[in-house]
């Protein structure tokens, strides 16, 4: 089945370290998104990309950067991780007309 | 930009009762309103959605209603079952936003046997 795959699924790191979360998809969708989930705050949009040459900031982009290496790959980087970036991160894809398809999530803990 | 508020944050019902979750949105241009269910440890998955040209949509035990004038939309679950226990998220977007969904804060529904 076509899917959205995130790596790593779990990561523990220390303050100040650089972290990359990777997302790849076999759905053939052009549009890809990174969301962050925190209890009581829902899913907040970090960055989104409508194609390889189009990248946009979302609601909470400070402290994050992204790279769209190919239509199927969209990576999220934390250049210098801090404890309040501890969260569950989801990558998602869509055709742009409706449903988002989420990956399984990457749980990041920053000590 | 769009802002979505969701209430309540937690909801506990007895099996067989109905559950209602409400959301409000701020951007009058929004015209697509999906609901996602996230079971414990799983990814969010779409359960039902509604577009602005429709006031109500049903799918078996779940229904969504939309009041564009008041900028409100609601999820209704009837005859709740323990497997309905999950976190539910509402969201909103406009077609010209290219699928950029803005989510509510989530409602943790607990259905007690």
Rounded distance between C-alpha atoms, residue A55 and residue A19, angstroms:
19
Written as six digits, the tokens of B51 are 């577009």
What SS3 class is residue B96? helix
| B93 CB neighbour count, 10 Å cutoff | 26
Q: Name residue A24's beta-bridge partners.
A: A5, A73
The distance from CA B77 to its chain's CA centroid, rounded to whole angstroms, is 10
| Residue recorded with tokens 């390889």 | A52
The distance from CA B101 to its chain's CA centroid, rounded to whole angstroms, is 13
The per-residue pLDDT for B98 is 65
| CB–CB contact A99 B49 (8 Å) | yes
Is pLDDT above 90 for B103?
Answer: yes
* B100 near A CB under 8 A: yes
- Backbone φ and ψ for B99, nearest 5 degrees, come out as 90, 15
Rounded distance between C-alpha atoms, residue B113 and residue B109, angstroms:
13
The per-residue pLDDT for B95 is 67
Residues of chain B with Cβ-Cβ distance to A97 below 8 Å are 95, 99
Nearest one of A36, A2, A31, A23 to A93, comparing CA atoms = A31
The per-residue pLDDT for B77 is 98
Residues B50-96 have pLDDT tens digits of: 998 888 999 999 999 999 999 999 999 999 999 999 999 999 987 66
Rounded distance between C-alpha atoms, residue B113 and residue B107, angstroms:
19
Rounded distance between C-alpha atoms, residue A33 and residue A45, angstroms:
7
Contact A22, A4 (CB under 8 A): no
| CB–CB contact B44 A43 (8 Å) | yes
Written as six digits, the tokens of B78 are 């009837």
Residues B15-24 have pLDDT tens digits of: 999 999 999 9
The per-residue pLDDT for A76 is 98
- Could you tell me the mean pLDDT of each successive run of 10 residues in chain A, 111 residues long? 92 97 96 94 94 93 96 96 97 88 97 96
Candidates B9, B43, B108: best to mutate against A (most CBs of A within 10 A) is B43
The answer to whether the bond into B8 is cis (omega within 30° of 0) is: yes
Rounded distance between C-alpha atoms, residue B111 and residue B86, angstroms:
9
């Amino acid at each position: 089945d076509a899917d959205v795959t995130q790596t790593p699924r779990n990561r523990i790191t220390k303050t100040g370290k650089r972290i990359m979360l990777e997302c790849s998809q076999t759905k053939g969708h052009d549009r890809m998104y990174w969301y962050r989930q925190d209890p009581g705050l829902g899913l907040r949009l970090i960055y989104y990309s409508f194609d390889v040459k189009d990248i946009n900031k979302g609601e909470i982009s400070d402290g994050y950067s992204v790279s769209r290496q190919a239509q199927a790959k969209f990576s999220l980087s934390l250049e210098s991780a801090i404890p309040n970036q501890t969260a569950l991160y989801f990558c998602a894809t869509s055709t742009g007309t409706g449903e988002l398809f989420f990956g399984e999530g990457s749980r990041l803990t920053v000590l | 930009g769009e802002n979505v508020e969701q209430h309540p944050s937690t909801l506990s019902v007895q099996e067989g009762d109905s559950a209602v979750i409400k959301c409000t949105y701020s951007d009058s241009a929004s015209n697509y309103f999906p609901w996602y269910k996230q079971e414990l440890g799983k990814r969010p998955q779409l359960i039902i959605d509604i577009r602005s040209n429709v006031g109500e949509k049903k799918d078996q035990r779940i229904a969504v209603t939309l009041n564009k004038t008041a900028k409100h939309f609601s999820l209704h679950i009837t005859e709740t079952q323990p497997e309905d226990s999950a976190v539910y998220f509402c969201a909103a977007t406009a077609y010209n936003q290219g699928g950029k969904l803005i989510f509510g804060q989530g409602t943790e529904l607990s259905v007690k046997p």
